[in-house]
Structure 1
Amino acid sequence: MKKLFILLIVSLISLYPIHSFADMAEGDMIVTLGANLTEEQKESLLTEMGAPSDVQIVTVTNQEEHQYLGKYVANSLIGTKAISSSAITIAPKGAGITVKTKNINWVTDEMYVNALITAGVKDANIYITAPISVSGTAALTGIIKAYEISADKTIPEEVKQAANQEMVETAKLGDSIGDKNAAALIAKVKEEIAKNKPKNDAELKSIIEQAAKDLNVTLSDAEMNRLIDFFNKLKDLNIDWNQVSDQLNKAKDRISKYLQSEEGQGFLEKLKQFFIWLIDAIKSIFS
């Protein structure tokens, strides 16, 4: 009887094979939803993401968010509820990472890209959202969790911690030197570390100072010390620096291609017209 039962189970498995996330192909999507979302909010976000009806959903808890962020950011910023959500779509091999956000008010798209590259994420289109305006710090936890499933790989805990720390440090730095400058500075330093791994604090400080000089920003002593501490931790981790460099280059290529595209040129023209209008408006005040 037992043998008959086993044969029946084997037959059923062969008829209905279990889907493996390692089989995810280009265009496939996996979604993360905060555990504290209402059913109505979940449905609304899934519609917003354009998720298919059979999309795989990964739930992220507030406990997990605190696990990865508690060391780097105030508990009040993480909150007591998990509501940040995301959709990760597998991109073509070699495409790099793109990030778009909605209702995220502190962490920028570029900050997510930088942190995800550190975590080892590659070739993915990521959409991050929430039903209300949130800082966005907790979203990274879910994205990394979903990527591990979709890519069928385990990202070391210390690398996850480093990615979350990087995101928070960049956001804090953005409060003083501007979001774009902060993200660019972190990317520049990582790119240089990938090329020439610094041997000591003096070399690392020199790399950071040069990146700041290139961006025409000034770092306080406290900011410099925080960055040295962070990058020292980063360079000693088991990170594929060749992949980091490759993904950073792809991110830069995407920006360049966008600016050269018709859409990008249209954006620049609108920006130019805005500044012309602004200058004329200022002139009219004093005329």
Structure 2
Amino acid sequence: MNRIKKEDFSLRNLKKLGLFAITAITAFSMVFPSSVSADAIVGESYVTLGANLTEAQRNQILQEMSVSDQSKVIEVTNEEEHQYLGQYMSKATIGTKAISSAKITIQDNGKGIAVKTKNISTITEEMYANAAITAGIKDADLYITAPFKVSGTAGLTGIIKAFETATGKKIDESQKQVANEEIVRTSEVAEEIGDPLKAAQFMNRVKEEVAKEEPKSVEEYRDIIINVSNEFNINLDSDTINQLVTFSQNFNDLNIDWDQLSSQFESLRGDLSEALKSPEAQGIIDSILEWFGELFSAIGDFFTSSSSRSESN
């Protein structure tokens, strides 16, 4: 029984375990729609196409998405991409053409989010899921694609625009900005550490700690980021840490109530649910399972020993 005493199972850690078991992902519950609006019909799909696609590329994407109703097709312009990404990326990186396209299919309340991508080279499905929920999107299937390989940083703009059209509800502009900033910062961390999944997990832990600790000073934000990076055994340069401090401040300004997000965590679908579990959570779970294994082994040894003694008597 000494082994289990070595684990720090304080009330705070048990609370973290329950949260992590349903994956760590973030959103802003204060501006979440409590349910899909009356304008949104479950099962309906809405599509956004990059405004600079050629006619042949448009038709290719629509066919790929199995969309026939042109009335539900919305365009995303390069100007909109610069509007939401211009603060976090250079103009040259964003480019002059809107190519990324997206499809969103409304699901039943509580169904959660599922993400699939095609020809997206930088932004992973986990990153899209995180940022989409940050933007207030829920209960939907998301599909992001392009006719050729693109980074995918602009894909979130289309997802948000399609969701607004589907629900008839405008998403707060600050939310949109932070969600797009999250996409950029997560991809930068992924490039720096060479592990996109770990980057998404890392960002979720940072957001969780910021939401729970409610830091007030730059130093407190920085401490959270450094402590979490130590948890994940990753080294970040000073520029990245400074950018994450700014992102964390913007995130915290929207008054997140982390404890109210469990329904979205639980209802993540596909591979996202398992993929976004943090290594810390899995380590705690493994320790518990290992302890139970040792306990049952000891019980078995006890009865085996008792039985041997009885037979010898």
TM-score after normalising by structure 1: 0.75
Q: Contact 1:204–1:228 at 8 Å: present in 2 too?
A: yes
Task: Give 1:193 shift.
Answer: 3.1
Cα separation, 2, equivalents of 1:244 and 1:203? 24
RMSD: 2.4
Cα separation, 2, equivalents of 1:180 and 1:71? 24
Indicate yes or no: 2:176 matched with 1:160.
yes
Q: Contact 2:50–2:75 at 8 Å: present in 1 too?
A: yes
Structure 1 runs (4+) greater than 6 angstroms displaced: none
- Higher RCO by CA contacts (8 Å cutoff, separation 6 or greater): 2
Amino acid of the structure 1 residue aligned with 2:138: K
Gaps of 5+ in 2: 1-36, 277-313
2:85 counterpart (46, 69, 92): 69
1:135 counterpart (151, 156, 159): 151
1:216 counterpart (192, 210, 233): 233
Residue correspondence of structure 1 range 13-24 to structure 2 within 5 A:
22-24=38-40
Q: Contact 1:117–1:244 at 8 Å: present in 2 too?
A: no
Task: Give 1:245 shift.
Answer: 5.3
Q: Contact 1:194–1:244 at 8 Å: present in 2 too?
A: no
Amino acid of the structure 2 residue aligned with 1:176: E
Gaps of 5+ in 1: 1-20, 260-287
Cα separation, 2, equivalents of 1:165 and 1:237? 14
Cα separation, 2, equivalents of 1:146 and 1:38? 20
1:120 counterpart (133, 136, 146): 136
SS of corresponding position for 2:183: helix
Compared CA separation, residues 79 and 118, structure 1 to 2 (3 A): same
Amino acid of the structure 2 residue aligned with 1:183: A
Cα separation, 1, equivalents of 2:172 and 2:138? 16
Cα separation, 1, equivalents of 2:59 and 2:188? 33
Paired residues, number? 239
Compared CA separation, residues 136 and 256, structure 1 to 2 (3 A): closer
1:171 counterpart (178, 187, 190): 187
Compared CA separation, residues 249 and 90, structure 1 to 2 (3 A): same
Compared CA separation, residues 128 and 214, structure 1 to 2 (3 A): same
Indicate yes or no: 2:57 matched with 1:41.
yes
**Could you give the per-residue CA deviations for residues 10-65 of structure 1, whole angstroms, max 9, x where no partner exists?**
xxxxxxxxxxx843222111000111112221111111112243561111111111
TM-score after normalising by structure 2: 0.69
Q: What corresponds to 2:200 in structure 1?
A: 183
Q: Contact 2:100–2:144 at 8 Å: present in 1 too?
A: yes
Cα separation, 1, equivalents of 2:68 and 2:275? 28
Compared CA separation, residues 44 and 132, structure 1 to 2 (3 A): same
Q: What corresponds to 1:200 in structure 2?
A: 217
